[in-house]
Amino acid sequence: FATTPSTGGSAIGVGVDQELISSVPSHNPTFLARNFTDAEIVYCRAQPSPPSSFAARWVGKEAVFKSLGVKSKGAAAAMKDIEILNDELGIPTVRLHGEAKLKAEERGIGKVLISLSHSETVAVAFAQASS
Amino acid sequence: FATTPSTGGSAIGVGVDQELISSVPSHNPTFLARNFTDAEIVYCRAQPSPPSSFAARWVGKEAVFKSLGVKSKGAAAAMKDIEILNDELGIPTVRLHGEAKLKAEERGIGKVLISLSHSETVAVAFAQASS
Amino acid sequence: FATTPSTGGSAIGVGVDQELISSVPSHNPTFLARNFTDAEIVYCRAQPSPPSSFAARWVGKEAVFKSLGVKSKGAAAAMKDIEILNDELGIPTVRLHGEAKLKAEERGIGKVLISLSHSETVAVAFAQASS
């Protein structure tokens, strides 16, 4: 019997996104409430540079959408379906909710890895979706 | 009998590339004809910002070359061997031709995933080649 | 008997990092000696633009740390544990030493792929760790 290793890990999609930090309106409470979960807002507000952290998560969400093979709805509520929080080791980790979760299941995506980076002016993110 | 799952998916190479949009001479018809397929040119010209779309595909082709483990020949004809077109869902998809295709087969590469992004000034691309 | 394909290749972590080339103090010999191996220094000094090459490797090391799921120690000696040298085909290749190597083994990481890119002002790197 083949102990089918539950590794999975076949790459299904990748996503990259970047944005000027100054172009993400993180000072706007309505923008934040529509696009970030409460836990994300708490986390980003506690960081040394909240605008950089919000921008990094913003491009991270967009990168995840690309890796899922679905178009984001821009500033619509769907961005909230992608939640990026740091685990106990400080590694950014993706949790999917709502439609994004359904879409991932449909496509056989079991894991989405993410990495975020920001310089002084630009935030960039990379996401990889695999089975 | 082990139904060898045709997943493949073992990562073989990755590639990242970026470029200032202004440094990609997309206004030059000779440059376009040498480096982009007809379908790519039609697609990019129909986008809201053709220079951004050409630049994104340009760095995309370079990223694919890196993921294949071969050096691109710069502005030479080989860039045309990497064709990046959107599928019916709007997801950028890589098709290999000519030498790039042979090289990929030699290295056991069965799939190349790509993602493209551009801000107002910079285009960035990420490619992942797997078995 | 299942010939467990030694493919591995299950994605374990990804890492992206970017930095302004001008913000990496590659003119400082102490900085170089603490963070780059002798072979890396020899390689970068022989490139057309040593500051760009040092910056690309610098962000490369940071991206690898992210892909391993460990925080780098900033400018501390640990950056030297990540060595990025080009193989005979010119492909940047990661070799791990010391604590970084131990950490990778602990997490079942058998391979780290890397890609580097620099424009005139910015260096960016992407790393992917798999089993």
Which of the pair, B17 or C73, is modelled with greater confidence?
Answer: B17
Q: What share of chain B in percent tops pLDDT 90?
A: 78
Which residues of chain C lie closer than 8 angstroms to A84, CB-CB? Answer: none
Strand order in the sheet with C111-118: C11-20, C122-130, C111-118, C92-96, C82-86
Task: Write b or e for each residue in C40-76: b if 16 or more Cβ atoms lie within 10 A of its Cβ, otherwise e.
Answer: bbebbeeeeebbbbbbbbbbbbbbbbbbbbbebeeee
Which residues of chain B lie closer than 8 angstroms to C122, CB-CB? Answer: 18, 122
Preferred mutation among A21, A67, A117, A120 to probe C, highest tally of C CBs within 10 A: A117
| ipTM of the complex in this document | 0.88
Nearest residue in chain C measured CA to CA from B59 = C117
Q: Collapse the DSSP code of B53 into the 3-class scheme (helix H, G, I; strand E, B; otherwise coil) and give the result.
A: helix
- Residue C5, pLDDT score: 42
> What does the DSSP assignment read for C80-127?
GGEEEEE-TTS-EEEEE-HHHHHHHHHTT--EEEEEEEE-SSEEEEEE
Chains that touch A (3 or more CB pairs under 8 A): B, C
C117: β partners: C124
- Residue B7, pLDDT score: 52
- Residue A72, pLDDT score: 58
Task: Kindly report the nearest CA distance between residue B4 and chain C, in angstroms.
Answer: 9
Q: What is the pLDDT of residues C13-68, one digit of tens each?
A: 999 999 999 999 999 999 999 999 999 999 999 999 999 999 999 999 999 999 99
Put simply, the answer to whether A89 touches C66 (Cβ < 8 Å) is no
- Residue B45, pLDDT score: 96
Which of the pair, C93 or B89, is modelled with greater confidence?
Answer: C93
Preferred mutation among A3, A16, A106, A107 to probe B, highest tally of B CBs within 10 A: A16
- Residue A75, pLDDT score: 43
Q: Say how far apart CA A58 and CA A129 lie, in whole Å.
A: 18
The pLDDT of residue B129 is above 50: yes
pLDDT tens, N- to C-terminus, chain A (131 residues): 333 344 567 889 999 999 999 999 999 999 999 999 999 999 999 999 999 999 999 999 999 999 998 765 554 448 999 999 999 888 999 999 998 999 999 999 999 999 999 988 999 999 999 99
- Residue C73, pLDDT score: 54
The pLDDT of residue B5 is above 90: no
Chains that touch C (3 or more CB pairs under 8 A): A, B
Reading the block at residue A122, the tokens are 């630009």
Neighbours of A33 (CB within 10 A): 13
* Matching residue, tokens 């206004």: B27
* Matching residue, tokens 């990496």: C24
Task: Kindly report the nearest CA distance between residue C33 and chain B, in angstroms.
Answer: 27
Backbone angles phi, psi at C30, to 5 degrees: -65, -45
Q: Say how far apart CA C60 and CA A118 lie, in whole Å.
A: 14
Distances (CA, A) of A98 to A12, A82, A102: 20, 9, 7
Q: Say how far apart CA B76 and CA B82 lie, in whole Å.
A: 12
Neighbours of A99 (CB within 10 A): 13
Computed over every residue of chain A, the mean pLDDT equals 89
Q: Say how far apart CA C33 and CA C45 lie, in whole Å.
A: 13
Which residues of chain B lie closer than 8 angstroms to A64, CB-CB? Answer: none
Residues in chain A whose Cβ is within 8 Å of chain C = 1-3, 5, 7-9, 11, 89-91, 111, 113-120, 122, 124-128, 130
Q: What is the pLDDT of residues C72-91, one digit of tens each?
A: 555 444 899 999 999 988 89
Q: What share of chain B in percent tops pLDDT 70?
A: 89
- Residue A6, pLDDT score: 42
- Residue B119, pLDDT score: 87
Preferred mutation among B16, B66, B86, B91 to probe A, highest tally of A CBs within 10 A: B91
C-beta of residue C85 within 8 angstroms of C-beta of residue C92: yes
Q: Say how far apart CA C34 and CA B28 lie, in whole Å.
A: 46
Average pLDDT over residues B86-96: 91
- Residue A9, pLDDT score: 73
Residues ≥6 apart with Cβ < 8 Å to A21: A51, A52, A55, A118, A120, A121, A122, A123
The pLDDT of residue B59 is above 70: yes
Q: Say how far apart CA C100 and CA A38 lie, in whole Å.
A: 34
Residues ≥6 apart with Cβ < 8 Å to C131: A7, A9, C8, C9, C10, C12, C108, C109, C110, C111
The mean-pLDDT minimum among B1-5, B38-42, B116-120, C68-72 falls in B1-5
Task: Kindly report the nearest CA distance between residue A17 and chain B, in angstroms.
Answer: 5
Reading the block at residue B84, the tokens are 């990046």
How big is the CA angle at A82 (ends A80 and A85), to the nearest 5 degrees? 105
Give the closest residue to A130 by CA, choosing from C65, C66, B9, C8: B9
- Residue C75, pLDDT score: 43
Interface A–C counts its CB contacts (< 8 A) at 58
Put simply, the answer to whether C67 touches A7 (Cβ < 8 Å) is no
C-beta of residue B127 within 8 angstroms of C-beta of residue B63: yes
pLDDT band at C3 (very low <50, low <70, confident <90, very high): very low
